[in-house]
Structure 1
Amino acid sequence: MAEIFSVDEAFDRTRFEGACCAFGVFDGVHKGHEALISCAIEDSKKRGSASFALTFDLDPDEMFRPGELKKLMTNEDRIRALAASGADFVAVLPFTREFASLSPEDFLASTFGELAPASIHVGEGFRFGARAKGTEETLIEWGSRHSCSVTPHELLCLEGAPVSATRIRGLLSTGNVEEATKLLGRPWKVRGTVVSGRGEGAQMGIRTANLSIPDEFRAVGDGVYAAYVHVDGKRYKAAVNMGVAATFADRSTANCEAHLLDFDGNIYGCEIEVEFIAWLRPMRVFDDVDELIATIMSNIEWVREHL
């Protein structure tokens, strides 16, 4: 695992001297991000220097588009994933309103100080500085004055289109978790604390772990999914209802309900992780409880046979 640094006033910016940096937000740390970071790592090996994954402590859109962004992972998970990406170090820039208001030139001076890295690798369309005025060309021009090689990379293409966090969010929003998995390199996950539910599941003999997921982390669309749920280091097959159950919409207390197969523990108040594997069906209103139970049991059987 890479060592993680906060690039604050106490950070020794001479660490960047001679280094090769992959610079980006990296929400999701998907296949495209991994390819970009690999370019910086390979560059550092040729130069005999250190490699950095350089990012922010939060996604800038959290500041500028609050309530609109669907995040693929928490900032803490994103930074941990970057630490496992193969880079030697992860440098985290505190993204404040003051920092965001800096001109592109001041943005770079604040980030690197007097000593620029040997190289910076960014994705196509990279923007930075106040009002996103800094472009690839701005960065290249700055690099030429500071003996820093700047390389903008075309986005990695998979399944016929560029890999991006926006594309992955689009797939998840329509329930296409299988395609999203290919682009992420792993299934999409969400974590939450188990809360008390409505109680109907237990009455029907189908107990569920109920989670209230904040809107910003509800990247996956409403529906029923086959999933794995991680509890205390163990993984269980699960049928998961994501979204407010239409049949009980007037008294719902959770927006993610997971029935864990072959599990009978008490996990109220525990944090669990849901790993989405396959989409099973859309949400719908059932004519009666018998039809609802029959459909749920069919979903559970699919999970048992296919996962």
Structure 2
Amino acid sequence: MAPIYRVDDSFDYSLFDGASCAFGVFDGVHTGHRYLLDAAIESAAQSGGRSIALTFDIDPDEIFDPAGLKKLLSNEDRLEVLAASGVDAVCALPFTREFAANEPLQFLQSTFGGHVPAFLHVGSDFAFGAKAAGHVSDLQEWAAQSGTVIHAHHLVSSDGRPISATRIRGLLANGEINMANRLLGRPYAIHEKVFAGRQDGRDFGFRTANLLVPPQQKVIADGVYAGIARVDGVPYKAAISSGVSPVFKDESTANCEVHLLDFDGDLYGQRIWVEYHHWLRPMMKFSSTEELISTVMGNIQWVRDNMILH
């Protein structure tokens, strides 16, 4: 796990000297991002410098479009996933309106503090500075003076379409979990704290862990999914109800309920990872309690029979 540095007043900018940096927001740390990170790792290995994931401490849209913001990972989880990607270090720039208002050249000077990375890897659509006025051509102009080598990568999937967090969020919103997971390079997952809920499941014969996913991270379509829940790193097969069932819409305080197969313990107050692997069915309004129980038990049995722990 690489160290995570906050680029604040105590930060040593000489960390960038001769480094190979991959620069981006990296929401989701998807396969396109992994390509950038791996490219930075490779060029660092060739030059003998450090490989660095350079990002922001928050998503810029938290400032510029908070009402429309949707994220695949929380800021904390995004930095942790980057730290586990194989780079030597993660550097998180504090993103503020003042920082974003810098003209492109000043933006770069503020970012690197006068120090010069040997390589800078970005997506071909990378934009930066005031009103996103800076583009790859501006990076190239800066690099010609600073001595940095710019690699602008065109990040596309096998179908020729761009790999982007926006595309993945759209797939998840449509319930297209398989394609979303392929572009992510891993199962889509949430990481939330379990709290005490209605406890109806206990009466019905299937206890659930109740989660409240923040609106900005509620990106997946409502429905029932098969997946895996990880408790302190231990995997359990899981039936996941994402969204609020019509049966409990007037009394539910959770927007995600997870039944962990073969788990017997107290999860209250713990944060768990919940991975979405397969879509099973939409939310349904049942004609009777018996129909509800029968359907849910059938979903749980599907998970037991088909999911493989890893």
TM-score category (smaller protein)? over 0.9
TM score, norm. by length of structure 2:
0.94
In structure 2, give the amino acid aligned to 1:174. N
Secondary structure, counterpart of 2:68 in structure 1: coil
Between 28-37 and 170-179, report the one with greater CA deviation.
Answer: 170-179
Distance 1:262 1:160 in 2: 42
Residues 239-278 of structure 1: CA deviation (Å, up to 9, x unaligned): 1110011111111111101112122322222222211111
Residue 160 of structure 1: CA displacement?
A: 4.5
Preserved CA contact (<8 Å) 2:157 2:183: no
Aligned to 1:173: 173
Q: Which amino acid in the other structure matches residue 234 of structure 2?
A: K
Task: Give deviations 1:18-72, integer Å, cap 9, x for gaps.
Answer: 2221111111111111111121222222222222111111111111111322211
The two structures have a TM-score, normalised by structure 1, of: 0.95
Find the counterpart in structure 2 of residue 274 from structure 1.
274
Structure 1 residue ranges without an equivalent (≥5) = none
1:100 aligns with 2:94: no
* Cα distance, 1:60–1:286 mapped onto 2, change above 3 Å: same
Matches within 5 A, 1:205-224: 205-224=205-224
For 1:157 and 1:205, locate their aligned partners in 2 and report how far apart those are by CA, in whole Å: 43
CA RMSD of aligned residues (A): 1.5
- Distance in 2, matches of 1:81 and 1:235, equals 18
Matched residue, 2:78? 78
- Per mean C-alpha deviation after superposition, the further-off stretch among 113-122 and 125-134 is 113-122
Q: Which moved more, 1:43-52 or 1:16-25?
A: 43-52
Moved beyond 3 Å, runs of 4+: none
Letter in 2 for 1:225: Y
- SS of equivalent to 1:157: coil
Q: Which residue of 2 aligns with 1:126?
A: 126
How far apart, CA to CA, are the structure 2 residues paired with 1:95 and 1:18? 24
* Residue pair 1:2, 1:84 contacting (<8 A) in 2 also: yes
2:60 matched to which residue of 1? 60
Query: What does 1:1-307 align with in structure 2 at a 5 Å threshold?
Result: 1-307=1-307
C-alpha displacement of 1:159 = 4.6
Distance 1:303 1:132, change over 3 A: same
Structure 1 residues 8 and 211 mapped into 2: Cα distance closer, same or farther (>3 Å)? same
Give the conservation status (yes or no) of the 8 Å contact 1:5–1:11.
Answer: yes
Q: Is the 8 A contact 1:158 1:183 kept in 2?
A: no
Q: Quick one: structure 1 residues 271 and 12, their matched pair in 2 at CA, closer, same or farther if it must change by over 3 Å?
A: closer
Change (3 A) 1:279 1:159: farther
1:130 shift after superposition: 1.3
For the residues of structure 2 that align with 1:269 and 1:11, how far apart are their CA atoms?
34
Calculate percent identity across the aligned residue pairs.
53
User: Aligned with 1:250: secondary structure?
Assistant: coil
- Determine if contact 1:35/1:156 at 8 Å carries over to the other structure: no
SS of the aligned residue for 2:143 comes to helix
The letter of the residue matching 2:217 is: F
3-state secondary structure, aligned to 2:67 = coil
> For residues 290 and 154 of structure 1, do their structure 2 counterparts lie closer, same or farther at Cα, with a shift above 3 Å needed?
same
CA offset at residue 99 of structure 1? Answer: 0.9
Unaligned 5+ residue runs, structure 2? none
